[in-house]
Amino acid sequence: MNNKLSAAARREENWGWFMVAPTIIGLVVLNLWPFVQTLYASFCEHEGFGHYKFIGLQNYVDMFMNAEFWKATWNTIYFCILTVPVGIALALLIAMLLNANVRFKGGFRTIFFLPLVCAPAAVAMVWRWIFNGEYGILNQILGVKIQWITDPKTAVLAVAIVSVWSSIGYDAVLLLAGLQNIPKSLYEANSIDGAGKVQQFFTITLPMVSPTLFSVLIMRLMASMKIYDLIYMMADETNPALTDMQSLMYLFYRSSFVAGDRGYGSAIVIWTVGLILLVTLVQFQGQKKWVTYDI
């Protein structure tokens, strides 16, 4: 093979670089460089107004010794367990329903997608009223008196419900796209062979939609591990259940921006990134077992 590129090919390659340059520059400036800064900050003590003093691993030592941090780590994992499987199962169900021949399909699709268009702050506000222990409509309907947001037992659950509610539409639309790529002929052939609906789901739908399902799973898990805005909006500083619902990102916010301890906050971020990396690696290994890329 000829290693030397022709002049035309080289020009084409240069153009290629030129075309992707905006994205690459953007990634480096907006993602990579801040990441390096965060990594450095995690080994420093923030003395104020962007002045950092190198203190080695002290932040990590403090962090691993802190019970609040481990609680937040567990809260985050617990939140993922609550939201990811249920959220994706429901999203797939909705996607399949929307893919079927129902009337007002367009209308339904819009309705399910709507929560995503709403600002998270507004969503959290409305849900706070719904969950209100004294006057909330949820308690009125159920005829119970549960302090959803302030009872440590239900606080994470309440946030999880809102999270699933607001993300389900987006996931469903992605999965719907995956479903629509499945050739109709597969189902026809399958039913001629006498397969039932349930069997069709497991032998055709699930394998065929698995690549989409996989990307939805990865995205949803990452988003769940980074949960912050809903907790910020739904929990006040004086909420008795705060330590039972605060996620890693919320703890990071409180350390970095309320207490001004940005070095410690950065250490929490690096830990979270590590955690997400680990989970994603495991998923990429695991996908070989269940994701089908070729028909």
Partner 1 sequence: MIKLSRIKVAVLMLILLLSLTGCGKSADGKIHLTFQIWDVYQRPGMQAMCDAYTAQHPDVEIEVQATSWSEYWTKLEASAESNTMPDIFWMHTNQLLYYADFGMLADVTDLYDDVESDYYEKHFSEISRRNASGSDGHLYGVPKDKDNGLLVYNKEMFDAAGVSYPTEEWTWEDLADASQKIYDKTGKYGFMAYNDDQLGYWCFVYQAGGHILTADRTQAGYTNPGSVKAMEFYVNMQKEDWCPDQTYFTETAPGTAFFSEAGAMYLEGNWNLPQLMENYPEMRGKWDLAKLPKCADPIEDSESLDQDGRATMSNGLCYSTSARGKNREAALDVIKFFGTEEAQRIQGENGAAIPAYIGCEETWRAAFDSYDEKLDLDVIFDQFDYAVQAVYNSASPKWKSQVIDELTRIYSGNQDLMAGLENMERIVNTETAKKLEK
Q: Which residues bind partner 1 (CB under 8 A)?
A: 47-50, 128, 132-134, 147, 149-152, 236-243, 254, 257-261
In the complex, the smallest distance separating the C-beta of residue 232 from partner 1, rounded to whole angstroms, is 9
Task: Return the C-alpha torsion angle 131, 137, 142, 147, nearest 10.
Answer: 30
**How many alpha carbons lie under 13 Å from residue 141 in its C-beta half-sphere?**
6
Nearer to partner 1, 47 or 188 (CB): 47
In the complex, the smallest distance separating the C-beta of residue 49 from partner 1, rounded to whole angstroms, is 5
Residues 6+ apart with CB under 8 A from 208: 178, 181, 182, 186, 292, 295
Distances (CA, A) of 170 to 76, 77, 202, 220: 21, 22, 23, 10
Nearer to partner 1, 147 or 287 (CB): 147
In the complex, the smallest distance separating the C-beta of residue 132 from partner 1, rounded to whole angstroms, is 5
Asked whether 211 and 178 are in contact (CB, 8 A), the reply is yes
Nearer to partner 1, 136 or 178 (CB): 136
In the complex, the smallest distance separating the C-beta of residue 162 from partner 1, rounded to whole angstroms, is 15
Asked whether 231 and 251 are in contact (CB, 8 A), the reply is no
Nearer to partner 1, 12 or 236 (CB): 236
In the complex, the smallest distance separating the C-beta of residue 165 from partner 1, rounded to whole angstroms, is 20
In the complex, the smallest distance separating the C-beta of residue 113 from partner 1, rounded to whole angstroms, is 29
Token pair 């987006």 is found at 170
Nearer to partner 1, 84 or 268 (CB): 268
Neighbours of 179 (CB within 10 A): 19
Nearer to partner 1, 190 or 243 (CB): 243
Distances (CA, A) of 84 to 42, 184, 212, 219, 242: 29, 29, 15, 10, 22
What type of residue is 52?
A: Y
